[in-house]
Structure 1
Amino acid sequence: MESEIIEIKKILNFQPIQRSNNLYIYSIQDNQKKGIVPLSSMHTSIHGALIVWFLGSKKYGGEIKCLEMGTFCGANIAAIAKSLPYIEYTTVDIDMNDERLSGFYNLGKDVTQQMKANRDILVTEEFQNVSFLKMSTTKLYSAMAHTGFDLYWIDADHESFGPYNDLNYALTTWNDESIIMMDDIILEKRNPSIEAIKYLRQDYEFDCFMVQKRVESKKYVAVIHSKKNAIVSYLKSKV
């Protein structure tokens, strides 16, 4: 099934985007000193470097906008915002008091406390280029129906209709120069993210390829793009 819709590319090492990855890792370490603690092995994953590389390669005269669906602990968006302070970031996730949160993230008490502390820092003057919307991503259709972004990072609800809803929103508001990235895709089994890409490709014209998150990892990042996007062609040649 996957071979019909996806060109699979595996990164064997981080050399092609080493500069972006180093910048991203430095930002993680710098933010830790300010109290924003990563709650996953972000430093070994390629996704942050991919985002920094792509946004740093944009040649727009105006503002560059990024939408993150699924804030989680906030460490990812904080590192990227620190790496590229001229980028306008919007991150969306349900409030810490929402009962659905524990179901989405399978949280313990210590993780919950650190998540709250991280998110509180995101709304301080330290991160003036970050807008944190405390709501479900399903509300984006009404809250930002006509707002387009240069990059959509989809990492919210991975189950049921979550990936379909988030990808569909991105595809209704993007343009030919936009990029959509979907996190944590496992190719060895049927999953909602693969199904969302498969079905929405019947209604929207786009290409998709996969980037392995870590060496020997079973998880991939889907990179969805217009066939007219020259930046992606260059990225594919590097990985």
Structure 2
Amino acid sequence: MKTSNLKVLLVLILCALLLCLSPQPLVRAENSSISTHARAAALIDVASGRILYSSRGDEPMLIASLTKIMTALVAIENGDLRSKVKVGKNAFAKEGSSLFLKQGEEMTLEDMLYGLMLRSGNDAATAIAEHVGGSEEGFVYLMNAKAEELGLQHTHFANPHGLDAEGHYSSANDLAVLTAYAMHNPVFKQIVKTQVKTADNPYEAWDYKWLNKNKMLRLYEGADGVKTGYTKKALRC
């Protein structure tokens, strides 16, 4: 073999090795045949944390009740699941989706987290925040601290429930990273895959029974979570 041919062969082998060793690029919507009607979307591998697909993934947007992914995570990591959460005046009759909790009513943090994630109770979100964080503001501080810890650069929280507010936003990529992290928590994972949950109601003759609003659990084989959301401005998330 001539020296020039040998050099060409060695270069080709080196290029092939470099391609094998180089990290794979992020697959973005504009370079992919994948399409979606969503304004923004992200697909992540939960095991590795690698984002596989992203469309407008870093654009900050209103996220409605997807907020409660962080609310649940912070409550699980910082609260005692067996502790009793008391419904205060700020939580009672909170606007939007609700568990219809009564003022002064008490429920374990664990049961209230099921109500939070299955029925998207804004009253539960406020009660949990005041219980775990001492106040809604104190809890929101914990939410933003967790976002910073996870490196969520396009996320900021102003409340624990997701009602539209100035300074309250996240992005598809950030929510994917947050959710992948949360799904490694066994308590969180169990809650969000639950289709129906009953909880004691010491104030009435009937117990609470919550059907998960996430239709994916019933319509998509293998689905195991996580959360839906809606406001007039955020639309369906």
TM-score under structure 1 length normalisation: 0.27
- Which structure has the larger Rg? 2
More strand by share: 1
TM-score under structure 2 length normalisation: 0.27
